[in-house]
Amino acid sequence: AHLDRIAAVDERVRAFLHVDRETTLAQARAVDERRAAGEELGPLAGVPIAHKDVFTTRDMPTTAGSKILEGWRPPYDATVTARLRAAGLVILGKTNMDEFAMGSSTENSAYGVTRNPWDLDRIPGGSSGGSSAAVAAYEAPLSTGTDTGGSIRQPAAVTGIVGAKPTYGGSSRYGVIAFASSLDTPGPFARNVLDAALLHEAFSGHDVMDSTSVDRPVPPVVEAARRADVGGLRVGVVKEFAGDGYQPGVTARFDETVELLESLGAKVVEVSCPNFAYALPAYYLIAPSECSSNLARFDAMRYGLRVGDDGTRSAEEVMALTRAEGFGPEVKRRIMLGTYALSSGYYDAYYGKAQQVRTLIKRDFEAAFEQVDVLISPTTPTTAFPIGERADDPMSMYLADLCTIPSNLAGNAAVSVPCGLADGMPVGVQIMAPALGDDRVYRVGAAVER
Ligand code: GLN
Protein backbone atom coordinates (compact mmCIF):
# COMPACT_ATOMS: atom_id res chain seq x y z
CA ALA A 1 0.00 0.00 0.00
CA HIS A 2 2.82 2.42 0.84
CA LEU A 3 4.64 1.62 -2.42
CA ASP A 4 1.40 2.39 -4.26
CA ARG A 5 1.01 5.63 -2.32
CA ILE A 6 4.60 6.59 -3.25
CA ALA A 7 3.84 5.81 -6.92
CA ALA A 8 0.72 7.99 -6.72
CA VAL A 9 2.07 11.10 -4.96
CA ASP A 10 5.86 11.22 -4.97
CA GLU A 11 6.04 12.80 -8.40
CA ARG A 12 4.61 15.89 -6.70
CA VAL A 13 6.18 15.60 -3.21
CA ARG A 14 9.61 14.26 -4.33
CA ALA A 15 10.49 12.89 -0.92
CA PHE A 16 12.41 9.88 -2.27
CA LEU A 17 15.72 9.68 -4.11
CA HIS A 18 15.56 5.92 -4.48
CA VAL A 19 12.66 3.46 -4.36
CA ASP A 20 13.07 -0.16 -5.42
CA ARG A 21 9.85 -2.16 -5.26
CA GLU A 22 11.56 -5.53 -5.59
CA THR A 23 14.11 -4.92 -2.82
CA THR A 24 11.32 -3.70 -0.54
CA LEU A 25 9.01 -6.63 -1.22
CA ALA A 26 11.90 -9.06 -0.73
CA GLN A 27 12.57 -7.52 2.70
CA ALA A 28 8.88 -7.87 3.60
CA ARG A 29 8.86 -11.54 2.57
CA ALA A 30 12.01 -12.16 4.62
CA VAL A 31 10.23 -10.78 7.70
CA ASP A 32 7.31 -13.15 7.07
CA GLU A 33 9.75 -16.04 6.84
CA ARG A 34 11.48 -15.10 10.08
CA ARG A 35 8.11 -14.95 11.79
CA ALA A 36 7.08 -18.29 10.28
CA ALA A 37 10.35 -19.80 11.54
CA GLY A 38 9.30 -18.82 15.06
CA GLU A 39 11.61 -15.86 15.59
CA GLU A 40 10.35 -13.42 18.25
CA LEU A 41 10.13 -10.08 16.44
CA GLY A 42 9.53 -6.68 18.03
CA PRO A 43 6.47 -4.43 17.72
CA LEU A 44 7.68 -2.80 14.48
CA ALA A 45 8.29 -6.02 12.51
CA GLY A 46 6.83 -5.66 9.01
CA VAL A 47 6.27 -1.90 9.35
CA PRO A 48 7.58 0.10 6.36
CA ILE A 49 10.02 2.95 6.88
CA ALA A 50 11.60 5.69 4.75
CA HIS A 51 15.34 6.01 5.38
CA LYS A 52 17.34 9.25 5.10
CA ASP A 53 19.98 9.01 2.40
CA VAL A 54 22.71 9.87 4.90
CA PHE A 55 22.69 6.31 6.35
CA THR A 56 24.69 3.72 4.44
CA THR A 57 22.71 0.82 3.00
CA ARG A 58 24.26 -2.26 1.39
CA ASP A 59 21.38 -2.85 -1.04
CA MET A 60 20.63 0.76 -2.04
CA PRO A 61 22.74 3.73 -3.18
CA THR A 62 23.75 6.36 -0.61
CA THR A 63 24.42 9.93 -1.76
CA ALA A 64 23.90 12.22 1.26
CA GLY A 65 22.20 14.52 -1.27
CA SER A 66 25.55 15.19 -2.97
CA LYS A 67 26.68 14.79 -6.55
CA ILE A 68 30.10 13.76 -5.25
CA LEU A 69 28.58 10.45 -4.06
CA GLU A 70 26.41 9.83 -7.13
CA GLY A 71 26.26 6.12 -7.89
CA TRP A 72 28.13 5.06 -4.74
CA ARG A 73 27.07 1.70 -3.33
CA PRO A 74 28.26 1.40 0.28
CA PRO A 75 29.88 -1.94 1.13
CA TYR A 76 28.28 -1.93 4.59
CA ASP A 77 25.13 -1.01 6.54
CA ALA A 78 25.07 1.81 9.10
CA THR A 79 24.33 0.55 12.62
CA VAL A 80 20.92 2.27 12.45
CA THR A 81 20.21 0.51 9.13
CA ALA A 82 21.29 -2.86 10.56
CA ARG A 83 19.09 -2.39 13.63
CA LEU A 84 16.07 -1.46 11.49
CA ARG A 85 16.57 -4.69 9.56
CA ALA A 86 17.05 -6.72 12.75
CA ALA A 87 13.79 -5.31 14.14
CA GLY A 88 12.03 -6.40 10.94
CA LEU A 89 11.33 -2.91 9.59
CA VAL A 90 10.97 -2.82 5.81
CA ILE A 91 12.97 -0.06 4.10
CA LEU A 92 10.88 1.56 1.36
CA GLY A 93 13.70 3.68 -0.04
CA LYS A 94 16.10 6.54 0.61
CA THR A 95 14.88 10.08 1.19
CA ASN A 96 16.07 13.42 -0.12
CA MET A 97 18.10 15.78 2.06
CA ASP A 98 20.19 18.93 1.95
CA GLU A 99 23.66 18.07 0.68
CA PHE A 100 25.63 16.52 3.59
CA ALA A 101 22.75 17.64 5.87
CA MET A 102 23.68 21.31 5.51
CA GLY A 103 20.48 23.31 5.32
CA SER A 104 16.99 23.84 6.67
CA SER A 105 14.84 23.47 3.56
CA THR A 106 16.10 20.54 1.44
CA GLU A 107 16.75 23.14 -1.30
CA ASN A 108 20.48 22.35 -1.03
CA SER A 109 20.09 18.82 -2.40
CA ALA A 110 21.94 18.10 -5.65
CA TYR A 111 18.87 16.08 -6.69
CA GLY A 112 16.10 18.67 -6.60
CA VAL A 113 13.76 20.19 -4.02
CA THR A 114 11.31 18.22 -1.84
CA ARG A 115 7.90 19.83 -1.31
CA ASN A 116 5.83 20.27 1.83
CA PRO A 117 2.72 18.05 1.47
CA TRP A 118 0.60 20.74 3.19
CA ASP A 119 1.46 23.27 0.48
CA LEU A 120 3.60 22.13 -2.44
CA ASP A 121 5.04 25.63 -2.88
CA ARG A 122 6.57 25.55 0.60
CA ILE A 123 9.66 23.85 2.02
CA PRO A 124 9.37 20.61 4.06
CA GLY A 125 12.16 21.72 6.38
CA GLY A 126 15.66 20.31 6.36
CA SER A 127 18.03 18.82 6.23
CA SER A 128 15.83 15.70 6.67
CA GLY A 129 13.07 17.16 4.45
CA GLY A 130 12.53 14.01 2.40
CA SER A 131 11.91 12.03 5.57
CA SER A 132 9.47 14.56 7.04
CA ALA A 133 7.57 14.94 3.75
CA ALA A 134 7.31 11.14 3.29
CA VAL A 135 5.61 10.71 6.67
CA ALA A 136 3.41 13.82 6.32
CA ALA A 137 2.28 12.65 2.84
CA TYR A 138 1.39 9.17 4.15
CA GLU A 139 4.07 7.60 1.94
CA ALA A 140 5.54 5.98 5.07
CA PRO A 141 4.35 5.71 8.69
CA LEU A 142 7.90 6.16 10.02
CA SER A 143 11.19 7.59 8.83
CA THR A 144 14.73 8.26 10.01
CA GLY A 145 16.65 11.51 10.20
CA THR A 146 19.79 13.05 11.64
CA ASP A 147 19.78 16.16 13.78
CA THR A 148 22.99 18.23 13.91
CA GLY A 149 21.42 21.63 14.54
CA GLY A 150 17.71 20.89 14.20
CA SER A 151 17.42 18.74 11.09
CA ILE A 152 14.84 16.40 12.65
CA ARG A 153 12.87 18.78 14.87
CA GLN A 154 12.54 21.65 12.39
CA PRO A 155 11.28 19.50 9.45
CA ALA A 156 8.93 17.69 11.86
CA ALA A 157 7.52 21.01 13.08
CA VAL A 158 6.87 22.47 9.63
CA THR A 159 5.20 19.29 8.31
CA GLY A 160 3.02 18.61 11.38
CA ILE A 161 4.67 15.40 12.58
CA VAL A 162 6.76 14.21 15.55
CA GLY A 163 10.57 14.29 15.38
CA ALA A 164 13.03 13.52 18.16
CA LYS A 165 16.70 14.31 18.66
CA PRO A 166 18.00 11.68 21.08
CA THR A 167 20.76 12.43 23.58
CA TYR A 168 24.08 12.76 21.72
CA GLY A 169 25.69 9.31 21.68
CA GLY A 170 22.36 7.63 22.41
CA SER A 171 22.08 6.54 18.77
CA SER A 172 25.03 5.35 16.71
CA ARG A 173 26.80 7.49 14.10
CA TYR A 174 28.50 4.44 12.54
CA GLY A 175 27.65 4.53 8.83
CA VAL A 176 26.16 8.02 9.00
CA ILE A 177 27.90 10.20 6.39
CA ALA A 178 29.58 12.70 8.71
CA PHE A 179 28.74 16.40 8.84
CA ALA A 180 29.76 17.66 12.33
CA SER A 181 30.80 14.69 14.44
CA SER A 182 30.34 16.28 17.88
CA LEU A 183 26.72 17.16 17.01
CA ASP A 184 25.33 14.57 14.52
CA THR A 185 22.53 12.50 16.12
CA PRO A 186 20.26 9.97 14.35
CA GLY A 187 16.62 10.04 15.44
CA PRO A 188 13.04 9.08 14.51
CA PHE A 189 10.11 10.71 12.69
CA ALA A 190 6.52 9.47 13.15
CA ARG A 191 2.96 10.76 13.10
CA ASN A 192 2.56 10.41 16.88
CA VAL A 193 4.82 10.33 19.92
CA LEU A 194 4.31 6.65 20.78
CA ASP A 195 5.31 5.55 17.25
CA ALA A 196 8.40 7.77 17.47
CA ALA A 197 9.29 6.18 20.82
CA LEU A 198 8.97 2.66 19.40
CA LEU A 199 11.31 3.56 16.54
CA HIS A 200 13.72 5.34 18.92
CA GLU A 201 13.93 2.17 21.01
CA ALA A 202 14.39 -0.04 17.93
CA PHE A 203 17.61 1.59 16.70
CA SER A 204 19.17 3.29 19.77
CA GLY A 205 21.62 2.00 22.34
CA HIS A 206 25.30 1.32 22.74
CA ASP A 207 27.42 0.50 19.69
CA VAL A 208 31.06 -0.56 19.87
CA MET A 209 31.56 0.77 16.32
CA ASP A 210 31.03 4.39 17.49
CA SER A 211 33.55 5.62 20.08
CA THR A 212 31.17 8.40 21.21
CA SER A 213 28.29 5.98 21.78
CA VAL A 214 26.92 6.06 25.33
CA ASP A 215 27.29 2.75 27.18
CA ARG A 216 24.09 3.07 29.21
CA PRO A 217 20.61 1.55 28.87
CA VAL A 218 18.25 3.31 26.44
CA PRO A 219 15.96 5.57 28.53
CA PRO A 220 12.45 4.03 28.85
CA VAL A 221 10.92 6.14 26.07
CA VAL A 222 8.08 3.78 25.11
CA GLU A 223 6.89 3.46 28.69
CA ALA A 224 7.10 7.27 29.02
CA ALA A 225 5.09 7.86 25.82
CA ARG A 226 2.40 5.47 27.07
CA ARG A 227 2.34 7.17 30.46
CA ALA A 228 1.83 10.65 28.92
CA ASP A 229 1.12 12.44 32.21
CA VAL A 230 2.61 15.70 33.44
CA GLY A 231 1.04 15.99 36.89
CA GLY A 232 3.50 17.68 39.28
CA LEU A 233 6.15 18.08 36.59
CA ARG A 234 8.07 21.37 36.55
CA VAL A 235 8.12 22.94 33.08
CA GLY A 236 10.30 25.93 32.19
CA VAL A 237 9.39 28.31 29.37
CA VAL A 238 12.58 29.66 27.78
CA LYS A 239 12.10 33.42 28.04
CA GLU A 240 14.58 34.23 25.25
CA PHE A 241 12.67 32.23 22.61
CA ALA A 242 9.77 34.65 22.08
CA GLY A 243 8.98 38.13 20.85
CA ASP A 244 9.75 39.88 17.57
CA GLY A 245 10.60 37.50 14.76
CA TYR A 246 8.12 34.89 16.02
CA GLN A 247 5.08 34.53 13.76
CA PRO A 248 1.99 35.54 15.81
CA GLY A 249 0.24 32.22 15.07
CA VAL A 250 3.29 30.31 16.32
CA THR A 251 3.24 32.29 19.58
CA ALA A 252 -0.53 31.69 19.95
CA ARG A 253 -0.20 27.89 19.54
CA PHE A 254 2.72 27.89 21.95
CA ASP A 255 0.78 29.86 24.58
CA GLU A 256 -2.12 27.39 24.25
CA THR A 257 0.32 24.53 24.86
CA VAL A 258 1.47 26.23 28.06
CA GLU A 259 -2.15 26.56 29.20
CA LEU A 260 -2.77 22.91 28.33
CA LEU A 261 0.23 21.86 30.45
CA GLU A 262 -1.07 23.88 33.39
CA SER A 263 -4.54 22.39 33.03
CA LEU A 264 -2.94 18.90 33.11
CA GLY A 265 -1.27 19.69 36.43
CA ALA A 266 2.22 20.79 35.38
CA LYS A 267 3.87 23.69 37.22
CA VAL A 268 4.96 26.16 34.55
CA VAL A 269 7.58 28.82 35.29
CA GLU A 270 9.59 31.21 33.15
CA VAL A 271 13.31 30.43 32.90
CA SER A 272 16.09 32.59 31.50
CA CYS A 273 18.93 31.08 29.45
CA PRO A 274 20.88 34.24 28.53
CA ASN A 275 23.62 32.51 26.55
CA PHE A 276 21.18 30.82 24.13
CA ALA A 277 21.38 34.08 22.16
CA TYR A 278 24.94 33.10 21.17
CA ALA A 279 24.12 29.51 20.19
CA LEU A 280 23.58 30.25 16.50
CA PRO A 281 26.91 32.06 15.93
CA ALA A 282 28.79 29.42 17.98
CA TYR A 283 27.15 26.63 15.97
CA TYR A 284 28.05 28.28 12.66
CA LEU A 285 31.72 28.18 13.66
CA ILE A 286 31.77 24.71 15.22
CA ALA A 287 29.70 22.86 12.58
CA PRO A 288 31.59 24.28 9.56
CA SER A 289 34.93 23.61 11.32
CA GLU A 290 34.06 19.96 11.83
CA CYS A 291 32.64 19.69 8.30
CA SER A 292 35.79 21.12 6.71
CA SER A 293 37.72 18.31 8.37
CA ASN A 294 35.17 15.54 7.71
CA LEU A 295 34.69 16.40 4.04
CA ALA A 296 38.43 16.20 3.32
CA ARG A 297 37.86 12.48 2.64
CA PHE A 298 36.10 13.29 -0.65
CA ASP A 299 39.36 13.38 -2.53
CA ALA A 300 38.24 11.91 -5.90
CA MET A 301 40.17 8.73 -5.10
CA ARG A 302 38.14 6.89 -2.50
CA TYR A 303 34.49 7.41 -3.43
CA GLY A 304 32.08 8.33 -6.20
CA LEU A 305 32.75 11.12 -8.65
CA ARG A 306 36.13 11.66 -10.37
CA VAL A 307 36.54 14.57 -12.80
CA GLY A 308 39.34 15.24 -15.31
CA ASP A 309 41.34 12.04 -14.75
CA ASP A 310 42.58 11.80 -18.36
CA GLY A 311 46.16 10.76 -17.67
CA THR A 312 47.58 14.27 -18.06
CA ARG A 313 46.59 15.77 -14.72
CA SER A 314 48.10 15.36 -11.27
CA ALA A 315 46.13 13.82 -8.40
CA GLU A 316 45.89 17.28 -6.88
CA GLU A 317 44.36 18.75 -10.05
CA VAL A 318 41.85 15.90 -10.29
CA MET A 319 40.93 16.43 -6.65
CA ALA A 320 40.38 20.16 -7.17
CA LEU A 321 38.28 19.63 -10.33
CA THR A 322 36.21 16.91 -8.65
CA ARG A 323 35.50 18.94 -5.52
CA ALA A 324 34.68 22.03 -7.61
CA GLU A 325 32.09 20.08 -9.56
CA GLY A 326 30.94 17.61 -6.90
CA PHE A 327 30.12 19.99 -4.03
CA GLY A 328 27.28 22.53 -4.10
CA PRO A 329 27.54 26.19 -3.04
CA GLU A 330 26.42 25.74 0.59
CA VAL A 331 28.92 22.92 1.17
CA LYS A 332 31.71 25.03 -0.31
CA ARG A 333 30.70 28.00 1.86
CA ARG A 334 30.91 25.82 4.98
CA ILE A 335 34.26 24.28 4.01
CA MET A 336 35.70 27.76 3.50
CA LEU A 337 34.25 29.10 6.76
CA GLY A 338 35.51 26.08 8.68
CA THR A 339 38.97 26.08 7.13
CA TYR A 340 39.30 29.77 7.98
CA ALA A 341 38.07 29.33 11.57
CA LEU A 342 40.55 26.49 12.15
CA SER A 343 43.56 28.13 10.52
CA SER A 344 46.50 29.05 12.70
CA GLY A 345 46.27 32.58 13.99
CA TYR A 346 42.46 32.49 13.90
CA TYR A 347 41.81 29.26 15.79
CA ASP A 348 41.66 30.82 19.27
CA ALA A 349 39.63 33.83 18.14
CA TYR A 350 36.96 31.78 16.35
CA TYR A 351 36.89 28.03 17.04
CA GLY A 352 38.27 28.38 20.57
CA LYS A 353 35.81 31.17 21.41
CA ALA A 354 32.90 29.18 20.00
CA GLN A 355 33.85 26.21 22.21
CA GLN A 356 33.82 28.51 25.24
CA VAL A 357 30.33 29.72 24.31
CA ARG A 358 29.30 26.08 23.98
CA THR A 359 30.31 25.57 27.60
CA LEU A 360 28.25 28.61 28.68
CA ILE A 361 25.19 27.20 26.92
CA LYS A 362 25.68 23.88 28.71
CA ARG A 363 25.80 25.78 32.00
CA ASP A 364 22.58 27.63 31.16
CA PHE A 365 20.92 24.24 30.70
CA GLU A 366 22.42 22.89 33.94
CA ALA A 367 21.16 25.89 35.89
CA ALA A 368 17.71 25.60 34.30
CA PHE A 369 17.45 21.87 35.02
CA GLU A 370 18.08 22.56 38.70
CA GLN A 371 14.74 24.39 38.73
CA VAL A 372 12.67 22.45 36.18
CA ASP A 373 12.32 18.94 34.71
CA VAL A 374 11.91 20.03 31.08
CA LEU A 375 12.20 23.24 29.07
CA ILE A 376 9.79 24.18 26.30
CA SER A 377 9.81 26.62 23.37
CA PRO A 378 8.40 26.90 19.89
CA THR A 379 10.41 24.53 17.65
CA THR A 380 10.79 27.18 14.95
CA PRO A 381 10.10 30.94 14.87
CA THR A 382 7.89 30.60 11.75
CA THR A 383 5.91 28.00 9.83
CA ALA A 384 7.22 26.59 6.52
CA PHE A 385 8.40 29.39 4.21
CA PRO A 386 7.91 29.44 0.43
CA ILE A 387 10.45 27.56 -1.70
CA GLY A 388 13.08 30.03 -2.89
CA GLU A 389 12.32 32.70 -0.29
CA ARG A 390 15.50 32.23 1.76
CA ALA A 391 17.63 30.36 -0.78
CA ASP A 392 19.90 33.34 -1.56
CA ASP A 393 20.14 34.55 2.01
CA PRO A 394 22.07 32.10 4.18
CA MET A 395 21.62 34.22 7.31
CA SER A 396 17.81 34.12 7.15
CA MET A 397 17.97 30.38 6.41
CA TYR A 398 20.15 29.83 9.50
CA LEU A 399 17.48 31.49 11.69
CA ALA A 400 15.17 28.50 11.15
CA ASP A 401 17.29 26.65 13.74
CA LEU A 402 17.44 29.37 16.37
CA CYS A 403 15.54 27.35 19.00
CA THR A 404 16.86 23.88 18.19
CA ILE A 405 20.63 24.46 18.18
CA PRO A 406 21.23 24.86 21.97
CA SER A 407 20.24 21.22 22.61
CA ASN A 408 22.73 20.04 19.97
CA LEU A 409 25.56 22.10 21.47
CA ALA A 410 24.78 20.63 24.91
CA GLY A 411 24.18 17.07 23.62
CA ASN A 412 20.74 17.00 25.27
CA ALA A 413 17.49 15.19 24.36
CA ALA A 414 14.68 17.09 22.65
CA VAL A 415 11.52 16.47 20.67
CA SER A 416 9.15 18.46 18.46
CA VAL A 417 5.46 17.59 18.53
CA PRO A 418 2.59 19.16 16.55
CA CYS A 419 0.49 21.75 18.41
CA GLY A 420 -1.95 23.00 15.77
CA LEU A 421 -1.90 25.29 12.74
CA ALA A 422 -1.03 28.92 12.06
CA ASP A 423 -2.28 30.42 8.80
CA GLY A 424 -3.09 26.90 7.61
CA MET A 425 0.40 25.50 8.21
CA PRO A 426 1.61 23.21 11.05
CA VAL A 427 3.32 24.52 14.19
CA GLY A 428 5.59 22.50 16.49
CA VAL A 429 6.38 22.80 20.17
CA GLN A 430 9.83 21.74 21.38
CA ILE A 431 10.42 19.90 24.67
CA MET A 432 14.00 19.71 25.96
CA ALA A 433 15.51 17.57 28.73
CA PRO A 434 19.02 16.86 30.03
CA ALA A 435 21.24 14.22 28.42
CA LEU A 436 19.76 10.74 28.96
CA GLY A 437 16.44 12.35 29.93
CA ASP A 438 14.88 11.23 26.63
CA ASP A 439 11.99 9.58 28.47
CA ARG A 440 10.93 12.97 29.86
CA VAL A 441 10.58 14.58 26.42
CA TYR A 442 8.44 11.67 25.22
CA ARG A 443 6.31 11.76 28.34
CA VAL A 444 5.55 15.48 28.02
CA GLY A 445 5.32 15.27 24.21
CA ALA A 446 2.67 12.55 24.41
CA ALA A 447 0.67 14.67 26.85
CA VAL A 448 0.58 17.78 24.66
CA GLU A 449 0.61 16.50 21.04
CA ARG A 450 -2.48 17.47 19.06
N1 GLN B 1 20.13 23.76 9.38
C2 GLN B 1 21.29 23.50 10.16
C3 GLN B 1 22.51 23.54 9.27
O4 GLN B 1 22.36 23.85 8.15
C5 GLN B 1 21.19 22.17 10.85
C6 GLN B 1 21.36 21.06 9.93
C7 GLN B 1 21.29 19.71 10.59
O8 GLN B 1 20.81 19.57 11.70
N9 GLN B 1 21.83 18.73 9.89
O10 GLN B 1 23.60 23.28 9.67
pLDDT in tens, 273-282: 999 999 999 9
* Cα(161) to centroid(ligand 1), Å: 18
pLDDT at 171: 98
Q: Is 404 in the pocket of ligand 1 (CB under 6 A)?
A: no
Nearest Cα to 128, choosing from 167, 86, 174, 177?
Answer: 177
pLDDT band for position 394 (50/70/90)? confident
Residue minimizing CA distance to atom 10 of ligand 1 = 102
Domain 1-277+356-450, CATH = 3.90.1300.10
124-149 pLDDT, tens per residue?
A: 999 999 999 999 999 999 999 999 99
Nearest CA to ligand 1 atom 4: 103
Q: What is the pLDDT of residues 158-183, one digit of tens each?
A: 999 999 999 999 999 999 999 999 99
C-alpha 102 to ligand 1 mean position (Å): 5
Which atom of ligand 1 is found nearest the CA of 126? 1
Is residue 438 lining ligand 1, measured as CB closer than 6 Å?
no
Q: What are 399-449's pLDDT values in tens digits?
A: 899 999 999 999 999 999 999 999 999 999 999 999 999 999 999 999 999
Q: Which of 54, 100, 104, 385 to mutate to test the pocket of ligand 1 (most atoms within 8 A of CB)?
A: 104
Where does the chain hold its CATH 3.90.1300.10 domain(s)?
1-277+356-450
Establish whether residue 103 lines the binding site of ligand 1, counting it when its CB lies within 6 angstroms of any ligand atom.
Answer: yes
Catalogue the active-site residues. Answer: 52, 127, 151
pLDDT band at 395 (very low <50, low <70, confident <90, very high): confident
* Ligand 1 neighbourhood includes 81 CB (under 6 angstroms): no
Phi-psi region of 413 (alpha: psi -120 to 50; beta: other; left: phi over 0): beta
ipTM of model: 0.97
Sheet holding 142-146, edge to edge: 16-19, 90-95, 48-52, 142-146, 186-190, 162-165, 413-422, 425-433, 374-378, 234-238, 267-271
Dist. CA 375–CA 270, nearest whole Å: 9
Bridge partner residues of 274 (DSSP): none
